[in-house]
Amino acid sequence: MEVRIKAKPETIFQLLTDPKKYHKWKGNRAELDPRPCGIYRVIFNERDVAKGEYVEVVPNKRVVFTWGWEAADNPIRPGSSRVEIDLIPQGSETLVKLRHTGLPEPAMAPHKEGWTMYLNRLAVAATGGDPGLDPNHKPRQM
């Protein structure tokens, strides 16, 4: 999936890697160590915590990390899937390409829906807007 954002790659990269800026568009809190083998945790609420490891970090160009959920009852375990984000400058805009691989088939559609929402929130934050409170700040009903 991809989205064009009217912002420089540097601005978007900061939103992807700086824990003080990350929560502006995704999660309520983020613990990020954006370097190869560095660990991240994105806390959405008391139940939903995403965790993984950075695989590749190229400033202002690319971020690759493993992805999964800490909850014991979630089949997508930390490290079981992979997210690749490329930032491609195009004039005054940046094309953000996101690819999430390794998900089990039943999880593909909900993750695509989630990433679509979060890329739109990223675009709002990158252009100086306020995307508001993360809609996933409350646990999902199981």
The predicted-structure confidence for 11-27, as pLDDT tens digits, reads as follows 999 999 999 999 899 98
At residue 75, the pLDDT reads 92
Domain assignment present for residue 93? The answer is: yes
| pLDDT tens sequence across 69-81 | 999 999 999 999 9
Of 49-53, 56-60, 126-130, 132-136, give the lowest mean pLDDT range. 132-136
Q: CATH code at 22?
A: 3.30.530.20
Domain assignment present for residue 23? The answer is: yes
140 pLDDT above the threshold of 80: no
Domain assignment present for residue 134? The answer is: no
Average pLDDT of the residues in 47-62? 97
Among residues 73, 74, 55, 71, the alpha carbon closest in space to that of 63 is found at 55
Q: Which two tokens stand for residue 68?
A: 């999964």
Domain assignment present for residue 45? The answer is: yes
Average pLDDT of the residues in 36-63? 96
| Helix 105-126 vs helix 9-17: crossing angle, to nearest 10 | 120
Per the structure, the count of domains in the chain is: 1
Residue 65: give the domain boundaries: 2-126
